[in-house]
Amino acid sequence: MKESLPNEDTVKMMERIVDDFPSELEDYFGRMLDIIVPRYHEASSRILLGVMESNALIPLTLVAHILPEEEDGPVSVDHLHSLRKLRARLKAYCGDLMTVVEDLGYRTNFTDCHERIDFLHRTVNDYLHSPPVKCKLQSRVPQCFKPSESIVQTASRYFKFANQSINIALPHPVVEIIISEAAKLEDVEYEYDVSIVDEVREYVVKSNTGPSNREFVKLALQRGFYSYIREKFKDMSVFRCGLDATWALRYVLFEVDFHGQQQAMVAYKIKPRMVRALLDRGANPNAMAVDGTTSDISALQFLSKPQASIWVNYVSRMVPDKTISALLKPSIDSQVFEADMCGIFVEHGADYSATLTGRQNVRGALQMYFGDMPREAERLELLARRWRRRGMISWAVEPSASGQELLRPDGGRPHSHSPKPGRLSPNMDRGGRRRDKMRDKFKSWLL
């Protein structure tokens, strides 16, 4: 750059010089990587691949727990987390490829995490991301190694040795790393140990300044912890405070952040999977939108039909009135998204014939909304019929409940329309084979 500026080189020429800069250092960085002692190869590769994967700088203290076997044996916390010893260990593991930077913002509240590890220079990151070098690093770790999973496990081992005086709250750097990396594992639908996330919840809730279970579950919903919701909502007694899948469904669908531009708390791209996970865990789409457990969901006070069901309020917000719909038609992307959402609801027993306004029901509103997408409208019709006719779980009004209170029949147990044991279904012949196979194939093709 010093040579280019006096020579009046063009901007494109200088950009080319900057882009070519890492290639000139390949041999230099290669020698740094090769002089690492072989017995440190696995540890160094775990650190380098982890830092390459993480969006945030990893605290130096996690270097003490980078290898699973290092947690064995009685070692004092002060010795294990000695910054001087950890700096020496990082030097042995990674040579001069990594350096330690100080984050003054964490120095007061999180004294053991104010020092972070980072690449010596941006060009080191570029060099390590090159396919041959990345392949070389991956060859030094077990074949099943995954960077995000390794970071989550390393951070969880840190909590087992953490001093009780450390304030484990949501802003804690290690907590943030676990949450962000676990969310990455969820995005790729990778099976990981969700008990690690629950251990973090226990640490955070027990902390003096930590949030409640309710606040942590909100965070899990916002980050899209589908596996965690599917696993932990089997037994919701661990959450206490009246939390259930129906409450979480209201939060996912309606809650917004009123600061700024009223952004949805749960991103739209993860809503379909999250809604499906909650409905699979027993969330009732036909429950009242507002009840005694929803006082902390502030956006519910702005619903147009608070006494109606969650499903009716969702459809009424999705389908504008005739005046607005004539002026502003929904985009194709919006219609595709809503078709996916409505299909999930109807598939799980949302009342397809529920009253929306005095002259319109949900079925008519959706047919009008998906007028340009006849296949989606037909798909919703078939899902609703399948729910009614093929013995799927159904929601109904409990006889002892008020007309506005929609609950599961038989004290919360699903009601099935399937025939009694030993009795042939009308769709079966005497040999137990289904009738009208062409009709079923046609419906399967439409779905």
Q: Which is higher by pLDDT, 238 or 399?
A: 238
Q: Is the pLDDT of residue 113 over 90?
A: no
Report d(CA 380, CA 223) in Å as an integer: 29
User: Given the structure tokens 């002892």, which residue do they identify?
Assistant: 400
Q: How confident is the model at residue 425 (pLDDT cuts 50, 70, 90)?
A: very low
Q: How confident is the model at residue 79 (pLDDT cuts 50, 70, 90)?
A: low
Residue 71 lies in a domain: no
Q: Please, what is the Cα angle at 60 between 54 and 61, to 5 degrees?
A: 110
Residue 216 lies in a domain: no
Residue 199 lies in a domain: no
Q: How confident is the model at residue 344 (pLDDT cuts 50, 70, 90)?
A: very high
Q: Which is higher by pLDDT, 53 or 422?
A: 53
Residue 238 lies in a domain: no
Residue 349 lies in a domain: yes
Q: Is the pLDDT of residue 14 over 70?
A: yes
User: Tell me: the pLDDT tens digits for 254-272?
Assistant: 998 877 567 888 988 899 9
pLDDT at res. 414:
43
Residue 298: both structure tokens together: 């502030």
Residue 388 lies in a domain: yes
Q: Is the pLDDT of residue 412 over 50?
A: no
Q: How confident is the model at residue 249 (pLDDT cuts 50, 70, 90)?
A: very high
pLDDT at res. 417:
41
- What spatial distance separates the first Cα and last Cα of the chain, rounded to whole Å? 60
Q: Is the pLDDT of residue 129 over 50?
A: yes
Q: Which residue blocks in 36-172 are alpha helix, DSSP H?
A: 41-53, 77-80, 83-94, 122-128, 131-138, 147-161
Residue 382 lies in a domain: yes
pLDDT at res. 232:
81
Percentage of the chain surpassing pLDDT 70? 76
- Mean pLDDT on 368-380: 88
How many domains are contained in the chain?
A: 1
- Assess contact for 44 and 133: CB atoms under 8 A: no
Q: What is the pTM of this model?
A: 0.73
Residue 367: both structure tokens together: 């047919």
Count of positions (residues) in the chain: 447
**Considering the chain, what is the average pLDDT of its residues?**
79
Residue 67: both structure tokens together: 């290898």
Q: Is the pLDDT of residue 235 over 80?
A: no
pLDDT at res. 94:
92
Residue 402 sits in which domain range? 308-447
Highest mean pLDDT range out of 38-47, 149-158, 201-210? Answer: 38-47
Phi-psi region for residue 220, left (φ > 0), alpha (ψ -120 to 50) or beta? alpha
Residue 214 lies in a domain: no
**Chain centre to alpha carbon of residue 384:** 29
3-state secondary structure of 131: helix
- Mean pLDDT on 164-188: 78
pLDDT at res. 397:
37
CA trace torsion 391, 381, 402, 254 (10° rounding): 110
pLDDT at res. 441:
66
Residue 255: both structure tokens together: 């809650």
